[in-house]
């Protein structure tokens, strides 16, 4: 079956670093996405990984290991505005049209 | 460039009523999607379309119908609403070409309550 696991909630302190993990088991793989979703708003694109390794974009980085079915999103220099849900999604290799989403990780940044 | 827009933003229905959720995109994207989002369950795909005049079932299609008569519009219909369809509905669209263009762009959502 298709399964994507993320922690439900995490808490971190302003200015710190936090790592949000995502593990997946899917019938195929054609890329992994991270989205940010503030409460009451739409998801917005953060990062895309299709090859193993680290992709860095400002304060946010995303890592992928295809052999381990594992990804993480790293947020540095946390700001209060980073309080949001972070969604991991895998493009199913059997159908490149579709994304399979995890349940999301709600991150609370405290002062 | 408005991106993806959805109407209405909020709606309350009684059990058995019907309604249509509207989605429009002005980015000339080929693919369009309808998702529902429930607490603790993430985004689940209801129906999707890979081009004008085509639709396909997603993960949770029962109780919903869709139409894509024009490339820029994707409609989601509830023929006889049930309380289990209380949810937040998101429409999304995506370019066909690969690479970073593969990302889906989401509309602001429609919050539907069925009493």
- Name the minimum distance, in Å, from the CA of A27 to any CA of chain B: 15
Does residue A40 surpass a pLDDT of 60? yes
Residue B79: band (very low, low, confident or very high) from pLDDT cuts 50, 70, 90: very high
Burial of A31 from C-beta contacts in 10 A (0-12 / 13-18 / 19+) = buried
Q: Which of A54, A5, A50 is nearest to A25 (CA)?
A: A5
Does residue A94 surpass a pLDDT of 90? no
Q: Per mean pLDDT, which range of A82-91, A100-109, B62-71, B91-100 is the poorest?
A: B91-100
Backbone dihedral angles phi then psi of residue B14, each to the nearest 5 degrees: -95, 150
Does residue A30 surpass a pLDDT of 80? yes
Residue contact A104–B107, C-beta within 8 A: no
**Mean pLDDT, residues B35-64:** 94
CA B33, A73, A22, A68 dihedral sign is positive
Contact status of B42 with chain A (Cβ, < 8 Å): yes
Q: What is the pLDDT of residue B1?
A: 72
Residue B99: band (very low, low, confident or very high) from pLDDT cuts 50, 70, 90: low
d(CA B46, CA B61): 5
Residue contact B42–A104, C-beta within 8 A: yes
Contact status of B44 with chain A (Cβ, < 8 Å): yes
Does residue A93 surpass a pLDDT of 80? no
Residue contact A8–B58, C-beta within 8 A: no
Tokens of A42: 């739409």
**Mean pLDDT, residues B82-104:** 85
d(CA B96, CA B93): 10
Backbone dihedral angles phi then psi of residue B99, each to the nearest 5 degrees: 75, -150
Q: Identify whether the C-beta of residue A86 lies closer than 8 Å to the C-beta of residue A104.
A: yes
Q: In chain B, which residues have their Cβ closer than 8 Å to the Cβ of A45?
A: 103-105
Q: Which of A5, A1, A26 is nearest to A95 (CA)?
A: A26
Residue B98: band (very low, low, confident or very high) from pLDDT cuts 50, 70, 90: low
Residue contact A42–B109, C-beta within 8 A: yes
Nearest chain B residue to A96 by CA distance is B102
Contact status of B67 with chain A (Cβ, < 8 Å): no
Q: Is the preceding peptide bond at A17 cis, omega within 30 degrees of 0? A: no
Say which DSSP state A64 is in: E
- Residues of chain A with pLDDT > 70, as a percent, come to 97
**What residues contact residue A109 under an 8 Å CB cut-off, 6+ apart?**
A11, A12, A13, A14, A78, A79, A80, A82, A83
Residue A1: band (very low, low, confident or very high) from pLDDT cuts 50, 70, 90: low
Contact status of B101 with chain A (Cβ, < 8 Å): no
Residue of A97, A102, A105 to mutate, testing the B interface (most B Cβ within 10 Å of its Cβ):
A97
Q: What is the pLDDT of residue B17?
A: 97
Nearest chain B residue to A7 by CA distance is B40
**What residues contact residue B38 under an 8 Å CB cut-off, 6+ apart?**
B44, B87, B88
d(CA B78, CA B93): 21
**Mean pLDDT, residues B44-64:** 95
Q: What is the pLDDT of residue B111?
A: 97
Nearest chain A residue to B43 by CA distance is A101
Q: In chain A, which residues have their Cβ closer than 8 Å to the Cβ of B40?
A: 8, 103
């Amino acid at each position: 079956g298709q399964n994507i696991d993320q922690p439900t909630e995490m808490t971190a302190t302003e200015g710190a670093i936090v790592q949000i993990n995502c593990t997946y088991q899917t019938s195929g793989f054609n890329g992994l996405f991270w989205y940010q979703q503030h409460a009451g708003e739409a998801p917005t694109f953060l990062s895309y990984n299709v090859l193993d390794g680290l992709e860095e974009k400002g304060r946010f980085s995303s890592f992928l290991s295809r052999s381990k079915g594992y990804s993480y999103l790293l947020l540095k220099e946390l700001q209060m505005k980073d309080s949001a849900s972070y969604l991991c999604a895998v493009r199913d290799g059997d159908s490149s049209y579709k994304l399979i989403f995890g349940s999301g990780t709600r991150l609370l940044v405290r002062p | 460039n408005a991106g993806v827009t959805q109407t209405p933003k909020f709606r309350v229905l009684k059990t058995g009523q019907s309604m249509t959720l509207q989605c429009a995109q002005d980015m000339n994207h080929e693919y369009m999607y309808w998702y529902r989002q429930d607490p603790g369950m993430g985004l689940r795909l209801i129906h999707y379309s890979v081009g004008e005049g085509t639709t396909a079932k997603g993960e949770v299609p029962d109780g919903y119908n869709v139409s894509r008569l024009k490339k820029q519009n994707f409609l989601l219909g509830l023929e006889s609403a049930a309380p289990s369809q209380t949810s937040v509905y998101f429409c999304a669209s995506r370019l066909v070409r690969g690479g970073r263009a593969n990302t889906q762009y989401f509309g602001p959502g429609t919050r539907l309550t069925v009493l």
